[in-house]
Amino acid sequence: MYWVEFTAIFDQRRKKEKRSTLQMYNIISAEIGLSPGTLASFYRHQRIPSKTTMDKIIKWIEKEGKRVVSFASNSSSSINNEINN
């Protein structure tokens, strides 16, 4: 389940920021505190990460997921305000 969320957020952010996959591995690795190679292996589903690695990835997913949900909530509330006015 976390793999699906990670790849979705990763791909969405990569497209939004117009960066290559390698650039995103480097950026996110600095944010999470994992090596770019570890993130690449997880993204490609090549190996099962350790518990410590998963804890860091889950924390990042939750942080990034809140940003996405928050943005979606703000967009829908502004649309509702426009409709109601």
User: To the nearest whole number, what is the mean pLDDT of the chain?
Assistant: 82
**What is the domain extent for residue 66?**
2-84
CA distances from 41 to 27, 29, 45 (A): 16, 12, 6
Higher pLDDT, 47 or 42: 42
CATH number reported for the structural domain that contains residue 13 in this entry: 1.10.260
Rounded to whole angstroms, the Cα distance separating 57 from 59 reads 5
- Report the pLDDT averaged over residues 44-59: 91
- Report the pLDDT averaged over residues 19-45: 95
Structural domains in the chain (count): 1
pLDDT at 65: 81
